[in-house]
Structures are given as structure tokens and as C-alpha cells.
Amino acid sequence: MLSGKAIPPRERLIFALDVPTVEDARQWVERLGDSVVFYKLGLQLFMAGGYYELIAWMRQRGRKVFADLKFFDVPETVKLAVEQLRSRDVAFATVHGNDEMLRAAVSAKQGTRILAVTVLTSLDRHDLRDLGFDCNVEELVLSRARRALAVGCDGVISSGLEAARLRADLGEGFLVVSPGIRPVDNKPVDDQKRVVGLEQAFLNGADYVVVGRPIRKAPDPQAEAEDYQARIARLFA
């Protein structure tokens, strides 16, 4: 199920820029150099201030940006929020909501691809039960993905564990971006529960993977990122 989309291999690795300040973010971009070309900017950086200025700075340096803000509000507010990204040259943006919220985001997207969040990788079946979803995680992911694609989303955020089922049932005509990438011998020591190794995520059908802590906490983050890139290059050679 290896992705056949015309995506440059080095863009398939998205680094989660989960740091507290814009200055920290800039230092990480400079530190990683050419080992990373695609970055995810989430709520932590958004709340730090200077989010749009950081995006402009990164775009000037040829870096791609994924605005992971998980818009969730009444549809008109979601639409207006997505419109704010129109002039920012953002590649991806996330929405976490029902059909009308997703449809509103799609209506305003222009050049930004809208990705629907299926089930956060920090949740397992027990967590879903606490939230009132008495169902199998995979079935919920599939249901949400099917609905998202029906209203025009460009793809989904999904654990690599569920990517194979998504491809088998829904085909190749959409993007799957998989966070929760961990070494295969990783123990559940952080908030990610539904994790998968890099190679398996791609072999299951992911188009992109999001990696944060395994690179950020490595003794040599740039070398670690280059190792991830080399492993991706071997898969897509």
C-alpha cells in the first residue's frame, strides 16, 4: 500500500515544531537545516504570538508549513478562520468537527489542503468509551474519514495503525497524514497511545508522517532527522 503520489520523498517527513516560543522555533529550523523541509505548527506556538510572522519567515526559507490548529467551532466561524490562511501560503490545515464544520472549512480553503482529524493518537478505546463512543477505534476512524471525504476534505489525520484499513476501504484518492510515529521498541512513556514505526506507517498507506519528540530529544537532532530521511528514501526509491 506504499503511496504512489508524486510527493518529493524529503517532504514526506513533517517535523512537529512543538516549542514554546517563536524564537525557539526559528532556532530549531536553523538547527535542523536541510534535514527537514516540512513543519507542523500547532496550538502552543499559535498561543505564543507571532505565528503568522513565523510562517512568513519559514516560507521565505523554502520551508513548507502545516497549520495544525484543529478548528472546531460553529461552521461560519470555522469558515472565517480558514479564510485567514488564504494569504499565508500554508500547505495543510486541520479541522476537528462534524460534517458542517468540515464543509465550511472546505468552502474557504483555496490553496490550503484541509485535513480532517479522525481520532487523536493519544486516545485508545478506553478513552473513547469515556467520551461516549462505545465502538472500535478503527471503525470510528473509518467512519469519520468517509464522511470527511464526502464533504470535500483533501485527506485525514490518522494513526498509521488505521491507514491500511482506510486505503483498503476508501482508496488512494486522498491524503493520509500519520502522527504518533515512534521507534518499534517504544514503550508508552508519553501521551501517544496508538503508535507505529516509520516504515510500517508508510507500508500501511500513509503519505506523510509527523515526527516530533523522537527527533527533538535525540542527542543529535539533525542526524536523527537525516536518518529518518534516509529510511524514507529507501522506501520510495
pLDDT digits (tens, 9 = 90+) for 170-182: 999 999 999 988 7
Let me know if residue 87 belongs to a domain. Answer: yes
In a domain, 136, yes or no: yes
Domain of residue 16 covers: 9-235
Question: How much is the mean pLDDT over the chain?
Answer: 91
Residue 3 lies in a domain: no
- Whether the Cβ atoms of residue 160 and residue 185 lie closer than 8 Å to each other: no
Cell numbers at residue 29, please? 529550523
pLDDT tens, 201-233?
Answer: 999 999 999 999 999 999 999 999 999 999 999
**What's the pLDDT at 168?**
96
CATH code, domain with 76: 3.20.20.70
In-domain check, residue 2? no
Q: Which three cell numbers stand for residue 88?
A: 499565508
Does residue 4 lie in a domain region? no
Neighbours of 99 (CB within 10 A): 14
Q: Determine whether 70 is an active site residue.
A: yes
Structural domain total, the chain: 1
Who's near 218: CB < 8 A, 6+ residues apart? Answer: 224
- Annotated catalytic residue within 70, 109, 187, 217: 70
Smallest Cα–Cα separation from 115: which of 151, 62, 139? 151
* pLDDT one-digit tens code per residue, 118-163: 876 665 666 656 666 666 777 888 999 999 999 999 999 998 889 9
